[in-house]
Structure 1
Amino acid sequence: METRSWWQKLKNNSMARFGATVLIIFYIAVIFADFVAPYDPLAQQPNGSLLPPTQIYWRGADRWRGAEREFIGPHVYPTIQGPIDLDTGRQEIEVDYSRPAPIRLFVRGSEYRLFELSIPIITSLSFDGEITMREQDIFPGIPSDLHLFGTVGPASPNAIAADPTIGEATEGEDAPEAVSISPAYINLLGTDNAARDVLSRLIYGGRISLSIGLIGIAISFPLGLLVGGISGYFGGWIDSVLMRLVEVIMTIPSLYLLVALGVILPPELNSSERFLLIILIISFVGWAGLARVIRGEVLSIKERTFVQASRSMGGRSLHIITRHILPQTATYVIIAATLSIPSYIVAEAVLSLIGLGIQEPDPSWGNMLSAGTNASILVLNPWLVWPPAALIVITVLSFNLLGDGLRDALDPRSLQER
């Protein structure tokens, strides 16, 4: 009989590996959002509201003067909102093709503090491609301004580019004034109605949306496991008292409770503190359903031979519950946990719609998705809706794939194969 470790079985499951890889990438991105995001999520771009995703050019495109240019590498042009077409309702955009701005990795942008500490030594690429070393104090308060990617420049008005390798220009040939005074931004997912970069808000918003489920299960699952295990193992009056308490908690309507909490919470709390407090309270209520299921599992497990043997050898009740009985419920607990984390993410979106979640201007996937309630946004500005919706769907699917893999790997009946 060959014994295979659960870790080996999990690695052999390609779908579980895919789910775990996606989640690792997501969590790394949101943890280091200050570095990964190209812009501050609250920064507004001048004349840049509701811009579509920025088009990236590889060859010079000086359409303003009609000249063709050679390959100059990835770059973008200053873009602002233009007039609205009264016939179609679509907003025209104005592009200054005379001022290309190169796209570079490891560029300097808005200041931030990573984990409230600055990075001691930063290695980056300068604008001319040379490696530079920048030393900073590690004490809080010293900001860092290095971002993963962004644009270099653009040049000042009346100049052609921030990079001398990009074409030639004649002084005095000004681009249209409204465009030339605007810098070039790279908005890979466009901008919202407040002229903020959608990609940056998605990355920062993931901190809230991806941490909600972890906080929820970290509170509700230990309570549900412990109460359900004690109730099912001891039975009698302990079981009756605990189950009556569980039934009372399960009768509390969650929506009305949320509305009541939204009214009584102190108004001076910011949206993140307010929502975190709501999640904490709801988690203390949400363990009841898990406790009932665990109680039923324990009732059947406690009569098995290995439990009776441990009891006859003098094992204490708490030791038997935590070391022998509850581990046997791992299959159900893993499934419940992987389904609960996505449910918290979806709940955050619902709470934002009714005004109890993260509120503007702070970003989260939920309040960004609420833009979809406007029919004109769905038709004219779909880039405001599909990115947060896609991230929620991908995250939920990844958790489910990982949960299925863990269920198969940790199932006690499948740990041994002939």
Structure 2
Amino acid sequence: MDWWQKLKKNPLARFGALLLLVFYVAVIAADFIAPYDPYASQLDGSLLPPTRIYVRNQEGQFIGPHVYPTTQGPTLVETGDRKLTVDFQKPSPLRLFVQGSTYRLFQTRLPLPKWEKVNQVAPIPTPASSPLAAEPSKTDNADKEPQSKQAYTLKWKDVELLSGIPCNWHLFGAAGEGKINLLGTDEQARDQFSRLLHGGRISLSIGLVGVAISFPLGMLVGGISGYFGGWVDSALMRLVEVLMTIPSLYLLVALAAVLPASLSSAQRFLLIVVITSIVGWAGLARVIRGQVLSIKEREFVQAARAMGASPLYIIIRHVLPQTTSYVIISATLAVPGFIGAESVLSLIGLGIKQPDPSWGNMLSLATNASILVLQPWLIWPPALVIILTVLAFNLLGDGLRDALDPRSLRR
């Protein structure tokens, strides 16, 4: 466990790991931590700035943390500003563990393709040479009914894995008519803090799911190529080289643009992950192939081959585990790439669609110049969490690379 002791002594790696732990715990418990429903709009609450928290009432008496009901007036044509109306007669105290919108704990849905039966009605055939073709006889066709046949069509269905437990408790909130909007509200009067937490579920999980799909594929292809060599190696490496020449971002943009508009955000998310993973495994396969070329000549591999073990068993059981340190480091450094791809696609409108939140489509408001000038609180939170997440993964990856370096462990 020398590598673990060395990792704990790296302050930057500890900071990255702690930051990621906070982010993942926050998005997993987003229903509980978020004070409001991320899809619910507040009355007259469009584009509100972050709520100001008071501790004294208008008479100067200390009554504890509280907020006041705040609404937004119409936009002034001359300046573009909007007048805030604060009702100082109705203080709303801030409380922990308050009741609010209902949600379901541990609810899990997964979009999956499913074949559905569709009854298609076949028309009654009438020969073109028959005199009935021009004027069909009602008596002849009266007893004939159109024949129906069953066909199958592929549709996406959201399969519910866990129904969840109904709950309406939230970590904090305002008791009264006032609302606590820590990061303000968007143009649809939805709480930005709640949407930021729920949007992290997509942005943070897309990297883990992408790595879980692409890395086993890259390891297996690279292991087979390096172990067998010969024409198998040549064929697989030519396929890898072709995939590596494809610009991944442009491919994602092209494929996302042709996706059907009827797809839900969950279905679109799954397709983006699959597309990104198929493109991203080629580089790992080349590196694994180079490592396997040297590992397969070692004594323990020769002994397993002499005992009659199958090639696939030797690759999975003896060869690929020797590449674990490199795979762990590469996986940590590859997750930010998946997060960035989702953010870019959602930023240009080809990723997760509104009203479903993700950090990318929340950042898409940055394309509006008036939002940048008048409502900057809509831009900096998603931009900041994306930067911090990518930085945390890179710091953790660098720490793992230093801790798992065989030369440093030997020293």
> TM-score interval w.r.t. the shorter chain?
0.7 to 0.9
Give, in whole Å, the separation in 2 of the partners of 1:32 and 1:151.
Answer: 19
Give, in whole Å, the separation in 2 of the partners of 1:306 and 1:147.
Answer: 56
Which runs of at least 4 in structure 1 moved beyond 6 Å after TM superposition?
none
- Contact 2:249 2:341 (C-alpha < 8 Å) held by counterparts: no
The percent of aligned pairs where both chains have the same amino acid is: 70
Q: Give the superposition deviation at 1:315.
A: 5.8
1:246-257 → structure 2 map (5 Å cutoff): 246-257=240-251
Alignment match, 1:80 = 71
- Contact 1:75 1:103 (C-alpha < 8 Å) held by counterparts: yes
1:12-161 → structure 2 map (5 Å cutoff): 12-60=9-57, 62=58, 68-116=59-107, 140=163, 143-153=166-176
Q: Give the superposition deviation at 1:87.
A: 4.6
Alignment match, 2:256 = 262
Give, in whole Å, the separation in 1 of the partners of 2:343 and 2:325.
Answer: 28
- For structure 2, the residue ranges without an aligned partner over 5 or more in a row are 109-161
**What is the Cα-based RMSD across aligned positions, in Å?**
2.3
Higher mean C-alpha deviation, range 367-376 or range 334-343: 334-343
Deviations 1:197-229 (A, max 9, x none): 000000000000000000100000011011112
- Contact 1:50 1:81 (C-alpha < 8 Å) held by counterparts: yes
Alignment match, 1:177 = none
Give, in whole Å, the separation in 2 of the partners of 1:141 and 1:258.
Answer: 34
Task: Confirm or deny that 1:366 pairs with 2:360.
Answer: yes
- Contact 2:97 2:169 (C-alpha < 8 Å) held by counterparts: yes
Give, in whole Å, the separation in 2 of the partners of 1:213 and 1:279.
Answer: 8
Task: Confirm or deny that 1:392 pairs with 2:361.
Answer: no
Give, in whole Å, the separation in 2 of the partners of 1:338 and 1:318.
Answer: 27
Deviations 1:20-68 (A, max 9, x none): 11111111111111111000001101111111100000111x3xxxxx2
- Contact 2:348 2:364 (C-alpha < 8 Å) held by counterparts: no
Alignment match, 1:228 = 222
Count of aligned positions: 358
Give, in whole Å, the separation in 2 of the partners of 1:403 and 1:266.
Answer: 37
Alignment match, 2:196 = 202
Deviations 1:6-31 (A, max 9, x none): 33332232222221111111111111
Q: Give the superposition deviation at 1:373.
A: 1.1
Q: Give the superposition deviation at 1:390.
A: 0.6
Report SS of the residue matched to 1:415. Answer: helix
Q: Which amino acid aligns with 1:382?
A: P
- For structure 1, the residue ranges without an aligned partner over 5 or more in a row are 63-67, 118-138, 154-182
Report SS of the residue matched to 1:408. Answer: helix
Label 1:337 to 1:141 Cα distance change in 2 as closer, same or farther (>3 A). Answer: closer
Report SS of the residue matched to 1:195. Answer: coil
Alignment match, 1:349 = 343
Give, in whole Å, the separation in 2 of the partners of 1:290 and 1:353.
Answer: 28
Label 1:54 to 1:254 Cα distance change in 2 as closer, same or farther (>3 A). Answer: same
Deviations 1:226-262 (A, max 9, x none): 1112112221111011112222333444345434533
Give, in whole Å, the separation in 2 of the partners of 1:327 and 1:143.
Answer: 43
Q: Which amino acid aligns with 1:24?
A: L
Q: Give the superposition deviation at 1:295.
A: 1.6
TM-score, scaled to structure 2: 0.80
Q: Which amino acid aligns with 1:275?
A: F
Deviations 1:102-135 (A, max 9, x none): 0000000001111139xxxxxxxxxxxxxxxxxx
- Contact 1:330 1:410 (C-alpha < 8 Å) held by counterparts: no
Q: Which amino acid aligns with 1:84?
A: T
- Contact 1:330 1:411 (C-alpha < 8 Å) held by counterparts: no
